[in-house]
Amino acid sequence: MIVKFVGGIRYFVGIKEIEVNFDTLENILEQAGEKIGKKIKLIIDKENMKTFLVIDDNGKEMKTSVVVHNNGKNILKQENIEDGELQIIMPVGGG
């Protein structure tokens, strides 16, 4: 499985993408975190339709709102993730 960090998120994790073994979402992020030396987890709030990425970099924790797509579909609208691609995207505004 390919995990892509899109937009500003890539600056927080330090890479654009990483390949890991397909597993549960929690284990996929754990594998990615081990490879980059940071703890990574997602907080998924389906009731409020929000997803947060939490990055722990040597005790310094950062939490930010993200959109997560699995093979082009928002994970908030899926029951299970599928092997392929996971994109973690930091939403931006403009005008």
- Amino acid at position 12, single letter: F
Confidence of residue 93 (pLDDT cuts 50, 70, 90): confident
Cβ pair 1, 29 in contact under 8 A: no
Residue 77 has pLDDT above 80, yes or no: yes
Give the model confidence (pLDDT) of 6-31 as tens digits. 988 998 899 999 999 999 999 999 99
Residue written as token pair 């500003």: 8
Q: What is the pLDDT of residue 94?
A: 64
SS3 state at 17: strand
pTM, 2 dp = 0.91
User: Could you tell me if 43 and 49 are in contact, meaning their C-beta atoms sit under 8 angstroms apart?
Assistant: no
Q: How many residues does the chain have?
A: 95
pLDDT (tens digit, 9 = 90+) per residue, 30-65?
999 999 999 999 999 989 999 999 999 888 999 999
